[in-house]
């Protein structure tokens, strides 16, 4: 059961943050290097992923680590703290999508220890708190700010576990490490660096401007001990002739005393890798090619929107995120309702934008509608939250396009999926990550029948009587090439035969090449300790 953290005493909260420590002190094998940014979205996650693959290709055992992540894009990861279930199944937790990608770059299985604290924003001032893969509850920012130091034992224990199994641990900071007003409660930047004795590299994004002020300003704000932890800086996302910026580099080094460790030029295929958070959706609205017109309402608490990356990669699909203040285009063929961290709040948002009218009119015209996870819940008759898990207790009327209803509650369902869908005959891969339980007559017409080879196929999701509205809880559904091609043909579109996994793998390789070509990896490895 989750708890409302806002209603608890701070001392009681800290005592609730239980975790299973390593059974004995672990030998430290790995060297470590921390990448901190001068701001959010400067490219830390991408650079760490590229370095993970580049050092892995050199024969090192590499692991990623981010103490605290704030993102509604999450993925399942093995929870090695818990024994297998009664059927021998692995128990899963959840981590940020960026660390899941970084694990892939290391050719390693994702683990809850790679991102021990995950904050999933539900309101403007509060988040669901996940510790070592398990939901603790919902927490206003001011309360979490006061309690998070109680998580440091779990964070350091997770880092020690990775250090014991790897040759190199690449640690990612969060936001800016120079937000000194947060230093006393910090668990993911300079306080972590001091506690774990991490050397720090500062990363700045020159494409947004202000690089000199950002790096020199960081130096000015940090106290002497934190400054001494910084072993150098990297300039990211540079375009054009770098010789024009060389005087700036000399000035930065003169002002800070920090060595210049290199410039990472603009990486043009970054959009082929999953974005960490919804800042990416504020960029141009149309993705992919031309052909099937797919519209995705840009929900306020949109989650796991990388579900849509495989469709956006199809040359025969034009995928558009519809921004607030805009109607869903009348020429849309398919509307997809994506995941959300606050289903009822985003249903209210749909209605405020008038998107509910657009969706229902689209369905009446014979258009197709798909719901993924929370989007599936929205397609039903009602969503109830009697315990107030996602917000104030209550219920919200759904769109009524599927004859189902959902109640938010119970333990979060975290399941890795690799099965054959007996409806389409295609392999389906992905995962489930939700707290709602859906019931109703509509489930008698499942969208999928998943056979994992262990017994009878499990029905999943629902389809309307006319077959034009469908929803399911499976994230990553369109990432399975055969299923995606089958679905595209079923809606009258052309499938390209795209190998999406290979496309992603090629992008990771290209990112590693980019790091090799632009940075002195031997020097970076020498700085790790």
**Any idea which residues carry the catalytic annotation?**
373, 475
Judged by DSSP in three states, 374 sits in helix
Cβ(47)–Cβ(154) under 8 Å? no
Task: Please give the C-alpha separations between residue 474 and each of 376, 440, 445, 453, in angstroms, as whole numbers.
Answer: 10, 18, 16, 18
Question: Which residues is 492 bridged to in the sheet?
Answer: none
Query: Residues 76, 416: contact at Cβ < 8 Å?
Result: yes
Pairing of strands 168-176, 62-65: parallel
Strand order from edge to edge, sheet including 292-297: 286-288, 317-322, 292-297, 334-337, 368-372, 469-472, 462-463
Q: Taking a C-beta distance cutoff of 8 angstroms, is the pair 483, 421 a contact?
A: yes
> Looking at the DSSP assignment, which residues form a beta bridge with residue 414?
433
Is the Cβ–Cβ distance between 177 and 190 less than 8 Å? yes
What one-character-per-residue DSSP string does 91-134 give? PEEEEEHHHHHHHHHTT---BGGGSSEEEEEEETTEEEEEETTE
**In the beta sheet, which residues pair with residue 34?**
171, 200
Q: In sequence order, which residues have a C-beta less than 8 Å from that of residue 12 and are 6 or more positions away?
A: none
The phi, psi pair for 220, rounded to 5°, reads -65, -35
d(CA 476, CA 390): 23
* Residue pair 208/279 in contact by the 8 Å Cβ criterion: no
Question: Helix H segments across 171-210?
Answer: 190-196
Closest CA to 349 of 388, 304, 298: 298
Indicate the DSSP class of residue 323. Answer: -
Helix spans in 222-354 (H): 224-229, 246-256, 309-312, 343-353
Integer Cα distance of 182 and 185 in angstroms? 6
Instruction: State the DSSP code for 63.
Output: E
In sequence order, what are the beta bridge partners of 118?
Answer: 69, 130
Query: By C-alpha distance, which of 395, 371, 370 is closest to 383?
Result: 395
Contact 471, 447 (CB under 8 A): yes
For residues 158 and 166, give the distance between their C-alpha atoms in angstroms, rounded to a whole number.
13
What does the angle CA 325 – CA 329 – CA 330 come to, to the nearest 5 degrees? 135
């Amino acid at each position: 059961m989750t708890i409302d953290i806002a209603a608890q005493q701070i001392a009681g909260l800290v005592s609730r943050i239980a975790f299973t420590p390593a059974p004995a002190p672990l030998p430290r094998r790995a060297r470590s290097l921390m990448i901190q940014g001068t701001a959010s979205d400067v490219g830390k996650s991408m650079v760490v992923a590229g370095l993970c693959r580049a050092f892995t290709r050199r024969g090192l055992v590499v692991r990623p680590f981010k103490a605290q992540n704030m993102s509604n894009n999450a993925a399942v990861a093995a929870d090695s703290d818990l024994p297998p279930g009664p059927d021998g199944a692995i128990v899963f937790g959840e981590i940020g999508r960026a660390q899941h990608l970084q694990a892939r770059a290391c050719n390693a299985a994702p683990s809850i220890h790679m991102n021990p604290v995950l904050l999933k924003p539900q309101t403007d001032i509060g988040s669901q708190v996940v510790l070592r893969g398990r939901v603790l509850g919902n927490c206003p920012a001011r309360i979490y700010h006061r309690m998070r130091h109680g998580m440091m034992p779990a964070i350091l224990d997770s880092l020690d576990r990775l250090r014991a199994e790897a040759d190199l641990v690449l640690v990612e900071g969060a936001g800016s490490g120079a937000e000194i007003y947060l230093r006393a409660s910090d668990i993911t930047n300079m306080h972590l660096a001091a506690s774990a004795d991490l050397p720090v590299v500062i990363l700045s994004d020159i494409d947004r401007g202000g690089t000199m002020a950002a790096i020199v300003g960081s130096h000015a704000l940090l106290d002497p001990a934190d400054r001494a932890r910084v072993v150098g800086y990297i300039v990211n996302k540079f375009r054009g002739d770098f010789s024009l910026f060389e005087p700036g580099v000399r000035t930065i080094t003169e002002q800070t005393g920090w060595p210049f460790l290199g410039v990472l030029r603009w990486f043009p295929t970054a959009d082929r890798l999953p974005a960490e958070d919804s800042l990416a959706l504020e960029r141009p609205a149309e993705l992919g090619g031309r052909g099937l017109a797919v519209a995705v309402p840009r929900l306020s608490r949109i989650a796991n929107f990388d579900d849509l990356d495989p469709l956006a990669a199809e040359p025969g699909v034009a995928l558009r995120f519809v921004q607030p203040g805009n109607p869903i285009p009348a020429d849309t063929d398919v509307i997809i309702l994506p995941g959300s961290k606050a289903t009822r709040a985003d249903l209210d948002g749909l209605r405020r934008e008038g998107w509910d009218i657009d969706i229902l009119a689209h369905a009446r015209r014979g258009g197709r509608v798909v719901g993924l996870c929370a989007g599936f819940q929205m397609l039903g008759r009602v969503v109830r939250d009697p315990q107030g898990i996602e917000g104030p207790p209550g219920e919200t009327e759904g769109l009524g396009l599927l004859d189902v209803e959902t109640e938010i509650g119970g333990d979060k369902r975290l399941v890795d999926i690799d099965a054959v869908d007996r409806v389409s005959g295609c392999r389906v891969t992905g995962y489930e990550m939700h707290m709602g339980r859906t019931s109703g007559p509509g489930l008698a017409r499942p969208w999928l029948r998943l056979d994992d080879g262990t017994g009878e196929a499990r029905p999943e999701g629902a389809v309307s009587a006319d077959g034009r509205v469908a929803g399911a809880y499976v994230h990553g559904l369109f990432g399975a090439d055969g299923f995606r091609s089958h679905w595209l043909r079923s809606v009258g579109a052309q499938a390209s035969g795209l190998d999406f996994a290979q496309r992603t793998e090629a992008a990771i390789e290209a990112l590693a090449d980019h790091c090799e070509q632009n940075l002195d990896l031997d020097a970076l490895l020498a700085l790790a300790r």
